[in-house]
Amino acid sequence: MSKRTILISFSLILLLSGCQLQPIRSNPPAPPTNGIYKSVDNGSTWQYLTDPASGTGLPIDNTVVMVPDPKVHTVLFWGSETVGIFRSWNSGNYWQQINTGLPATGYARIERIVFDPQDTNTIYLVGNFDGLGRIVRGINGGGQWKRLYSDLLNNTSVTAIIVHPKDSKTLFATSTSRAFLKSTDAGETWQALHWFQGNPVNLAIHPNNPDVFFVFDQSAGLMRSSDGGRTWIKAMPDTMDVKLNTFAISPLNPDSIYVASKDGAYFSTDAGVTWNILSTYLPVEHPDLKAMAFHPADPDILYFSSRDTLYITYNHGTSWDIKKLKIPQTITQIVVDAIDPDIIYVGVGT
């Protein structure tokens, strides 16, 4: 008897017995969860703003950077992994893509969004545009964009940019070409002041002493310069063996620096001279902290994230409040509303 005859006979038996062959069905794909979430009750509940059914205008993409306008707390900017930059005028309820004029036709990863402190309608973007690291300047809140700088090497990315706190024409930037760059004409021309050992991926300037800089060098760790960026030393001793993810200067106390790392959270209150651990009582065994944020008025209230969980301390690390999103992606950005800190936005990516 042939195999075909056996198969036909078996199917006939099933049909006569009332059984039917069912096709093999795979599980449906999980719904997307990357993008932006918003809470209006200090993280107790969350609204998924990127949900296509919400009508907010946000596309499904990973969050790389998310920042509020420093002077208008209801205005937010979102930098994506592939589709450029979006702006919301109304606390995230609706978003508009503002890519017109960006130097990219197919790919725009936005690494940083920075405002001119004298005029927040002037915005600087850095990132990777069609495979090149670039710096662009926007006016009218991103209504128009002008290309200022482009790396000479392919497959690089400009990773950070800051504006001098007292001179809007002076800019500083870092690139995966390992350069520390300076411009004194609002970005029209640039010079390299220093070359780092590894990729510099984060940059900060002391707001009261603009000769002092901090950079996260992926090979050397947290670095400090006291002469305007020409020479650099390690800001954290090798004995600490801290594997950084990011760092930030407190907006309430510019001598206080906070670090989120694969080993927890650390802080310095003397501009990086000495350090203390903040996360001793953090209720997680391996606190791989990816993002951080500051309360707008209380320096003891701090926000950190690890995977899908937001950790809030109200007493500078003595105890922690846990807010879980219960999603497979990782929180990469945290924004706390400057007027109503019960409003929290988190950006999510892979």
For tokens 């997307």, the residue is 32
Q: Which of 287, 291, 264, 289 is nearest to 275 (CA)?
A: 264
Phi, psi of 150 (to 5 degrees): -140, 130
Q: pTM of the full predicted structure?
A: 0.89
Q: Which of 293 and 287 is assigned the larger pLDDT?
A: 293
- Residues 195-217: pLDDT tens digits? 999 999 899 999 999 999 999 99
Which H or E run includes 112? strand 108-116
- The C-alpha atoms of residue 185 and residue 182 are separated, in whole angstroms, by 9
Helix (H) or strand (E) holding 47: strand 47-48
Give kind and range of the element (H or E) at residue 4: helix 3-16
For 101: left if phi > 0, alpha if psi spans -120 to 50, otherwise beta; the answer is left
**pLDDT for position 103:** 84
State phi, psi for 121 to the nearest 5 degrees: -75, -15
Per-residue pLDDT reduced to its tens digit, 307-343: 999 999 999 999 999 999 999 999 999 999 999 999 9
Confidence label for 132 from pLDDT (cuts 50, 70 and 90)? confident
CA angle 244, 247, 251 (to 5 degrees): 165
> Does pLDDT of 4 surpass 80?
no
Backbone angles phi, psi at 257, to 5 degrees: -120, 135
The answer, yes or no, to whether residue 28 has pLDDT greater than 70, is no
Rounded Cα distance, 163 and 214, in Å? 14
Kindly indicate the confidence band of residue 8, based on its pLDDT and cuts at 50, 70 and 90.
very low
d(C-alpha 208, C-alpha 228), whole Å:
13
Q: Which residues make beta-bridge pairs with 309? A: 306, 324
> Residue 30's pLDDT band (boundaries 50, 70, 90)?
low
122-150 in b/e form (b: 16+ CB < 10 A) is: bbbbbbbbeebbbbbbbeebbeebeebbe
Helix, strand, or coil (residue 54): helix
* Distance in Å from the first CA to the final CA of the chain: 55
Summary mean pLDDT of the chain: 89
